[in-house]
């Protein structure tokens, strides 16, 4: 990223600017240190991660960090409404790319527990995932992603129930998202953590690279706007957020 505009740290938001080559290793080291501290303090740690292609390189760097992975619970920020063995399942992605090497000892908490079709309705699955997340405990580190359209988790700008998912008075940890025009590469209903659940974590990290995402970030930096759901994470002052930018 060699753009004219770059964000500066403010309030609860810290900005780290690193090279693309350093990004995943530096962030993996930071996450591992936080998880190790949580294990020492409480006997276990909770890591909540996003799916998609963007975090795969981070997972590869994180899974070889030398911490006590047997005391780490891994939860999902969001999930596609498909069996957990489906090629497009975020759970399968995490099992394939994160729960390997040293991290193979970690416990994965599924949002969709079923391994086969048919599945329950998305709303029922959201209720089941709500219970699973609550039992897993508060996330010590939650890794978000951001799309060029400003979505984060499965909080899409055109989601019919976006306002409910963003409402901090919503006591549910998960909601179902059923888009009228879902992404063609993943045309599924989804389950996602609500904004209130995301902000209940102890520390949020958001790694970003690419000029298109920096342009989106600049829009979301100005004010909280449903057109850019990530803006509600960036504008709040409840939970520390670390923004990791690759230049």
pLDDT of residue 3: 47
For the entire predicted model, the pTM comes to 0.96
> pLDDT value at position 4?
63
How many helical (H) and strand (E) elements, i.e. helices and strands, does the chain have?
8, 10
* pLDDT at position 16: 96
pLDDT value for 213: 92
Residue ranges of domains in the chain: 13-223
The architecture that CATH gives domain 13-223 is 3-Layer(aba) Sandwich (3.40)
What gap in Å lies between CA 88 and CA 190, rounded to an integer? 12
DSSP letters for 121-176: PHHHHHHHHHHHHHHH---SEEE----TTS-BTTB-TT-TTHHHHH-TT---SEEE
What letters, b where the CB count within 10 A reaches 16 and e where it falls short, cover 208-245? Answer: bbeeebbebbeebbeeeeeebbbbbbbbbeebebbbbb
**pLDDT block averages, 10 residues each, the chain of length 247:** 73 94 97 98 98 93 98 98 95 98 98 88 95 96 96 96 96 95 90 98 96 93 96 97 94
């Amino acid at each position: 990223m060699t753009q004219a505009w770059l964000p500066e740290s403010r309030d609860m938001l810290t900005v780290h600017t690193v090279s693309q080559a350093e990004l995943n290793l530096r962030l993996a080291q930071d996450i591992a240190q936080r998880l190790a501290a949580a294990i020492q303090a409480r006997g276990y740690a909770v890591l909540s991660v996003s799916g998609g292609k963007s975090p795969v390189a981070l997972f590869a760097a994180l899974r070889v960090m030398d911490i006590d992975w047997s005391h780490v619970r891994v939860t999902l920020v969001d999930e596609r409404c498909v069996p957990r063995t489906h090629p497009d399942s975020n759970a399968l992605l995490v099992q394939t790319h994160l729960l390997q090497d040293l991290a193979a000892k970690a416990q994965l908490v599924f949002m969709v527990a079923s391994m086969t079709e048919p599945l329950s309705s998305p709303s029922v699955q959201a209720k089941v995932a709500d219970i699973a997340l609550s039992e897993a405990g508060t996330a010590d580190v939650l890794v978000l992603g951001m799309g060029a359209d400003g979505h984060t988790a499965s909080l899409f700008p055109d989601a019919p129930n976006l306002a409910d998912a963003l409402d901090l008075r919503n006591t549910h940890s998960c909601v179902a998202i059923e888009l009228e025009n879902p992404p063609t590469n993943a045309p599924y209903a989804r389950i996602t953590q609500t904004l209130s659940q995301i902000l209940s974590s102890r520390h949020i990290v958001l790694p970003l690279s690419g000029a298109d995402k920096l342009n989106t970030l600049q829009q979301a930096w100005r004010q909280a706007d449903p057109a850019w759901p990530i803006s509600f994470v960036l504008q709040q002052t409840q939970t520390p957020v670390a923004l990791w930018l690759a230049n």
